[in-house]
Chains A and B, each alone.
Chain A
Amino acid sequence: MTTVEEPTGTGARQVRDLVDVRKGEISREIFIDEQIFKAELENLFPRAWLFVGHATQVPNPGDFFSSWMGADPVLLTRDDKGELNVLLNSCRHRGMRVCRYDEGNTLQFTCPYHAWSYSIDGSLVDTPGALHGVPQQKAAYGTNLERQKWGLVRAAKVHNYKGLVFANWDPQAPSFDEYVGDFHWWLDNLADAFDGTEGGTEAYRGVHKWRIRSNWKFVSENFLGDTYHGASTHASVEAVGIGPGGKGKRRHGERQNEGGFSKGRMKTSFRRGHGASDNLAYEVPYPEFAEDDLNDYFVAAWEKRKEKLQAEGRLLGGRGPATLFPNMSFAGGFPRTILVAHPISPTETEVWRWYLVDKSAPENVRDWLRHYYMRYAGPAGMTEQDDMENWDYATEASRGVVARRYPYNYQQGLGQETASDLAGSVHSHHAIAGEVNARAFYRRWAEFVDNLSWPELTELARVDDRATERDADVTDVADGVKVLDAVDVVDGPPAQ
Chain B
Amino acid sequence: MPIDEALLERVLLLESVSEFLYREADLLDERRYTEWLDMLAEDYQYSVPLRMNVAYGETDAREETRAGREICWFDEGKETMSLRVDQLNTGLHWAEEPVSRVSHLVTNIRLEAIELPEVAVSCRFLVYRNRVADETDFLVGRRKDRLRQVGDSWQVVRRELLLDQSVLLAKNLSIFV
Contacts and interface: CB of A to CB of B under 8 A. Distances in A.
A236 B93 contact: yes
A224 B157 CA distance: 42
24 contacts: A101-B55, A102-B166, A206-B71, A206-B72, A210-B167, A210-B170, A213-B135, A233-B94, A235-B92, A236-B93, A239-B87, A239-B92, A246-B79, A371-B76, A374-B73, A374-B74, A375-B76, A379-B172, A379-B173, A380-B73, A382-B83, A385-B95, A392-B135, A392-B171
Contacts of B55: 101, 104, 106
A207 interface: yes
Contacts of B58: 104
A144 B54 CA distance: 36
Contact of B54 (A102, A207, A389): A102
Residue of B50, B72, B94, B170 most packed against chain A (CB within 10 A) = B94
B172 A385 contact: yes
A205 B87 contact: no
B10 interface: no
Interface residues of B, number: 42
A378 to B, nearest CB: 7
B171 A380 contact: no
Given A239-B87, A239-B90, A371-B76, 19 more contacts: A102-B54, A102-B166, A103-B62, A104-B55, A104-B62, A204-B71, A206-B72, A207-B50, A208-B168, A213-B135, A213-B171, A240-B86, A374-B71, A378-B73, A379-B173, A380-B173, A389-B95, A390-B94, A393-B132
B50 A208 contact: yes
Interface residues of A, number: 45
Given A205-B65, A211-B169, A246-B80, A237 B53 contact: no
A382 B95 CA distance: 10
A374 B92 CA distance: 21
A237 B87 contact: yes
B87 A240 contact: yes
A236 B84 CA distance: 10
A375 to B, nearest CB: 5
B73 A371 contact: no
Interface of B: 48-50, 52-55, 58, 62, 65-66, 68-76, 79-80, 83-84, 86-87, 90, 92-95, 132, 135, 166-174
A374 B76 contact: yes
A371 B75 contact: yes
Contact of A379 (B68, B93, B94, B171): B171
Nearest to A355: B71
A211 B173 contact: no
B171 A236 contact: no
Given A204-B71, A374-B71, A385 B173 contact: yes
Interface in A192-219: 204-213
Contacts of A388: 95, 171-172
Q: Closest 10 A-B residue pairs measured CB to CB?
A: A206-B71, A210-B168, A236-B93, A385-B95, A206-B65, A380-B173, A240-B86, A236-B92, A236-B90, A205-B70
A348 to B, nearest CB: 10
Contacts of B90: 235-236, 239-240
A302 interface: no
A104 B57 CA distance: 10
A471 interface: no
B156 to A, nearest CB: 18
Interface in A370-422: 370-371, 373-375, 378-380, 382, 384-386, 388-390, 392-393
Contacts of A384: 172
A266 B132 CA distance: 36
Interface string A255-286: 00000000000000000000000000000000
Contact of B172 (A204, A380, A393): A380
A32 B92 CA distance: 28
A55 B132 CA distance: 41
Nearest to A210: B168
A241 interface: yes
A204 B70 contact: yes
B53 A100 contact: yes
Contacts of A367: 68
B83 A240 contact: yes
